[in-house]
Amino acid sequence: MKIALCQINPAIGALSANAAKILDFAQKAHDLGAHLAVFPELSLTGYPPRDLLEKKEFVEKSLQTLHRVHQKTPLPIIVGFVDFNRHPIGKPLHNAAGLLVPGESRLQVQHKTLLPSYDVFDETRYFEPGQKIQCMNVNGKKIGVLICEDSWAEELLWEKKQYHTNPMEVLSQANPDFYINISASPYSLSWFHKRVDILSKSVRTFKKPLLYVNQVGGNDQLIFDGASLALNGHGDIVSQGKSFKEDMVFFDLETQTGEGLSQYPQEIESCYQALQCGLSDYVSKCGFKKVVLGLSGGIDSALVATLACDTLGPQNVLALFLPSPFTSRDSFEDSKAMTINLNIQMYTISIDELFKIYRKSLEPLFKDEPFNTTEENIQARIRGTLLMALSNKWGHLLLSTGNKSELAMGYCTLYGDMSGGLSILGDCPKTLVYALSKWRNSKKDKPIPQRIIDKPPSAELRPNQKDEDSLPPYSVLDPILKAYVEDHASGAQMMAMGYEAALVKKIVKIVDLNEYKRFQSAPTLRITTKAFGMGRRFPIAQGYTQEEKG
């Protein structure tokens, strides 16, 4: 029995386009001699469909589309879809896997049993857990079908076991010939290797091959890396799909061998590819053709410009250089060098006169009050207005260039440098921005001028300004932010890690005070285990102080 693992990139809600893609892959699998083709979780609707699931007509249309796919498929396929809960009690829907066999009128269906409701996942909002765990049958073979989280019951993943049931263990009692997991597992740094460890342990425990088929592509903030796997009965990877690209690989059940074995990239390279994937799909799926960004001469905008050119092509990237009275000559020269290296167009608009007009207009109110962050923010907001003007006039997507460290500390300006339709680096700490830039500059073309990487970072909103005037060195700041934001460490735990008590308290207080800014920020591409955005839901108005946290 030859099985095709079809990792596809569905667009959320694009039922007809997703169905056409499924049938196209199914036909190719059939032509290449496959007896079964397997597609990712919710491959018909795209994952996550979120509140589209609140629209009954959307679910009805998706089931009608599933029926058409069933009528047209040239071989048996397993597809992820949304099913109605036909019992009188419970949530109205199920996250489902369906086996569609040509010539058979009925589907074999398995409903997802374990529903994640942590971080970016909110499946208990919509779905009722499956009650029956049973095998599917095709071509005389018995298949144990699992849906994503159904394979994550292993203690290896959790500090404390999360679920009372292990669906794979239940299925093992029926002695299936092999297991299939259809998944929509988002990318985060180092998650691929943990995923492999969990799946390999399951195979070694139950001693049957396992096929893992993952969604690929970007859907809003989430990025899916594909990298589908076929593991033989010993837990060895015998075929693996490409990372961040659609692909189809094969597994032969009788010989337990595979066709197609891609290698997963190293961490920094995988991060760069993930950001490209997220940007590319956000642009295309939202109907944009070109992007615009502010180029400042700093490392963040330099990396965003490079990512945009590598992803979309230089002909689709426009840069705007917006010098103020405090902008250095180095920044102009470095920005100009960037545009030459990347072969992109850059317009220069000085904001000096606009800044003077703002200050003159406010002078009767501000009188003799000293220059402070107010005047700094005015410069950022002038720039944001000009960038948005180009975005509106020409229909380009404005890319925000801020990084995670700045967002965490509020070292950014609402309606200024935070303006934009997508934040590329909003989940990349500043130290990771440097690592990505150095990795990209290790390539032959070296697009980022070395001076941008070497010089101390500065917002250039007042004379001789440096980031370290307001922030600790990023090499100190970023580990504390990771501990607090991503690992939920307490003040006492961070102090036990060796960080100075006063510094920890200061950073935690600043992070908490700036929740309101992040609430209004552009959608951020997620590449860590805890990004600002849909997976982090802290209140803005709250009174839980660091002293109470201990």
CB 39 within 8 A of CB 22: yes
Token look-up 């950014």 returns: 412
Give CA angle at 425 (549, 218), nearest 5°.
105
Nearest residue to 176 (alpha-carbon basis) of 213, 205, 153, 209 = 209
Q: How many CB atoms lie within 10 A of CB 507?
A: 24
List beta partners, residue 312. Answer: none
Q: What single-letter amino acid sits at 180?
A: I
The four Cα atoms 119, 123, 124, 128 give a dihedral, to 10 degrees, of -160
CA angle 312, 21, 399 (to 5 degrees): 25
Question: What 3-state DSSP class applies to 48?
Answer: coil
Distance CA 73, CA 105 (A): 13
User: 112 an active-site residue?
Assistant: yes
Please provide the DSSP assignment of 120-166 as one string: T--GGGTBPPP-----EEETTEEEEEEEGGGGTTSGGG-SS---S--
Confirm whether 208 is a catalytic residue: no
DSSP classification of residue 88: S
Residues 298 and 457 sit within 8 Å (Cβ to Cβ): yes
Q: Which two tokens stand for residue 38?
A: 């397997």
Q: How far apart are CA 59 and CA 72, in angstroms?
A: 20
Residue type, 257: T
- Axis-axis angle for helices 56-72, 15-31 (nearest 10): 20
Q: What is the DSSP string of 207-276?
A: -S-EEEEE-EEEETTEEEEB--EEE-TTS-EEEEPPBSS-EEEEEETTTTEEE-BPPPPPHHHHHHHHHH
Q: Which candidate, 500, 494, 498, 536, places its Cα nearest to that of 519? A: 536
* Given the residues 6, 21, 41, 135, the one annotated as active site: 41
Which position among 6, 21, 123, 148 bears the catalytic label?
148
Which 8-state DSSP code applies to residue 297? Answer: S
Beta bridge partners of 180: 145, 211
Is 286 known to be catalytic? no
Cis amide bond preceding 48, omega within 30: yes
Separation CA 317–CA 342 (nearest Å): 10
- Determine which one of 21, 112, 404, 530 is catalytic: 112
Q: What does the DSSP assignment read for 431-464?
A: HHHHHHHHHHHTSTT--S-HHHHHSPP---SSTT
Selection from 469, 477, 540, 467 nearest residue 508 by Cα: 477
Q: Active-site positions?
A: 41, 112, 148
